Amino acid sequence: MKFSSLVSAALLLVSGADAFTPSSIARHSTSLNVAAIPAKTPEASSSEEWNPKSWQTKVASQMPVYDDQDELDAAVDRLDKCSPLVFAGEIRSLHEQLARATHGQGFLLMGGDCAEAFNEFDVDHVRDSFRVILQMSLVLTFGSAMPVIKVGRMAGQFAKPRSEPDEVRDGVSLPSYRGDIINAEEFTPEARRNNPFNMVEAYHQSAQTINIIRAFASGGYADISRLHAWNLDFVEQTDEGSRYRKFTTKVDESLRFMKAIGVDTASPTFTKTDFFVAHECLLLPYEQALTRKDSTTGKWYDCSAHMLWVGERTRELDGAHLEFVKGIGNPLGVKVSDKCTPDELLRICDTMNPSNTPGKLTIIVRMGAEKVRKNLPGLIRAVQREGKSVLWICDPVHGNTYKTESGYKTRDFKYIRDELRAFFDVHDEMGSHPGGVHLEMTGEDVTECVGGISEVTEESLKDRYHTFCDPRLNGAQALEIAFLIAERMRLRTGLPPIE
C-alpha cells in the first residue's frame, strides 16, 4: 500500500540509523541500533603528528589557570582511566545522519541548558528536557517530511567562556565563574579556585545523564503516541482555531490512519528513538583525557560526547581548540557571528574538515536577524563557490540577549522568531538547505525569556528565573518555535499550509 506524505513524515520520526545507510554499505547493528562495523569513508586518516595532547603546543583561549600542576595531572590521569561516555559506533551513526542532512535529507535539532550545574542535577530535569526535544522533533518531522536528528546540549555542557578572566566586587578580585566543571559560583576564594577535580565530578554526572537518556530513548518513553498526547496538552493552552491546534489535528489524523491500516504503532520502531549528546569543546584537558583510539578503525574519537562544537571566542585558526578538534573523528560544529568573513570561514572549513567529508562540519550561525540578512549570503556564497560540504543551522538566541532595567538578562521571543525567519529567507534566496536549529532551552516552566505563548513579561521574569548563566526558552516557548519552523518547512517541501 502506498502511504500518504503525512504518514511517511510520521514514520520518519522513529526511523533508526539503518534508515540512513545506503544498501551498498549496509551493516550489522548492535542492540543500541548503532553500527557494529565501521563504514568505509573517504575521510583521510589524521596526521601522524597529531595526538590528543597536540593542542598544548598552541595558545588556548578561555582556559582556566590551575595553581597546582600536579593536581591537574592527577585529575587528567584519573579521567584517562575512566570508561568512554559514548562509543565510536554511535558517533559514526550520528555522522551518517548528518551527512544526509548536509544534502538536504534531514534537519538537526540541538537543544538544552545554557550550562549544566552540579546542584541542579535531577532525573526529572533531564527527563523534562528530553521530553520537550522529542515533542519538538515530532512536530518538525511532520512539517518537514524528513528525518529529524535529535542532539541534546547535555551530559557535558558545563564550561562557559567569559569576557574577563576575573570578576571584581567591592574592590575584591577573584577568578570569574566559568562553570561547575572549573569552579563554583559563590564569590569566595575557596569557591572560585579553579579545581581540576571538578572535571571528575562532571564526568560522573555526565555518565548518569547519559544512562538516563539511554533508558528513556529505548524504554518506551519515546513512544510516538505519548509524544502526540503531550503536544495535545500544549495546544490546549492556545486559542480555539489556532494554527497549532490545526497542525496537531493533522498529526492526529495521520496516527489514526496508520493504526487503521494495520501499522503496529506499539512496535519498537514507534517506541524507541536515536538521541545524541553534544557540548562546547572548551576545557581541553577534559576533552584530551576522554579521547580514545578506536580499535576497529585506528581513528581518534573524543568519547565525552557524540558531537562537539567550537565557540565564537575560541575558533582562532592557529589556536589550541581547532588544533584539538582537527584530529578527532567526531562530527564538529563551529559558531560564527557577523565577525566571521567568507575567507575566514573557508579557512575554518579547511582546518576542521580538510577532506570535505559530508556530515563532518556544521556551521552554527548566531548573528541577530538584520545581521543574518546582511552577512549570511556572503558566507553561503563562498561555501557554494568552493564546494565545501557543510550543514547550516541557526542559533537564534545568542544574538538576541539584552538586560532589563531591573537587571535580568533575557531574550525576546519575537526577536528569536525574526532571526529564524531571516535564516530561512536567506537560504531560500541562495538555494541552500536550512539544516537545523540550536536552542538554549529547558523542559521546565521557567520565566527567563519574554514573549511567546507562555506570555512571560519583563515584570514576571523574577517569578521563576533559575538560570546560572544565560536565559533559556521554557518548554512551551521551545515547542512554539518547533511549530513555527514546521510551518515554514512545509512550504519549502511543497506541502500545503495547515488551514
Q: Per-residue confidence of the chain (499 residues) as pLDDT tens digits?
A: 333 443 444 444 444 433 322 333 333 333 333 333 334 444 444 445 899 999 999 999 999 999 999 999 999 999 999 999 999 999 999 999 999 999 999 999 999 999 999 998 999 999 999 999 998 998 899 888 899 999 999 999 999 999 899 999 999 999 999 999 999 999 999 999 999 999 999 999 999 999 999 999 988 788 877 777 777 777 777 665 567 777 778 777 887 888 899 888 777 777 789 999 999 999 999 999 999 999 999 999 999 999 999 999 999 999 999 999 999 999 999 999 999 999 999 999 999 999 999 999 999 999 999 999 999 999 999 999 999 999 999 999 998 999 999 999 999 999 999 999 999 999 999 999 999 999 999 999 999 999 998 889 989 999 999 887 899 999 989 999 999 999 999 888 887 776 6
Q: How many CB atoms lie within 10 A of CB 74?
A: 14
Take residue 75 and report the three cell numbers written for it. 585529575
Chain-centre distance for alpha carbon 291: 20
Nearest 5°: phi and psi at 467?
Answer: -65, 145
**Separation CA 396–CA 337 (nearest Å):** 11
Rg (CA), the chain: 22
Q: Classify residue 341 by burial, with Cβ atoms within 10 Å: 0-12, 13-18, 19+.
A: middle
Take residue 411 and report the three cell numbers written for it. 531574550
Take residue 250 and report the three cell numbers written for it. 493533522
Asked if residues 334 and 361 have their Cβ atoms less than 8 Å apart, the reply is: yes
**Separation CA 57–CA 55 (nearest Å):** 5
Q: What residue spans of 219-319 are helical by DSSP H?
A: 224-235, 243-260, 268-271, 284-289
Instruction: Judge if pTM exceeds 0.85.
Output: yes
- Widest distance between CA atoms in the chain: 75
- CA dist 88 → 16, 48, 207, 444 (Å): 17, 20, 16, 32
> Count of alpha carbons within 13 Å of 49, Cβ hemisphere only?
3
**Separation CA 395–CA 410 (nearest Å):** 15
**Separation CA 116–CA 180 (nearest Å):** 8
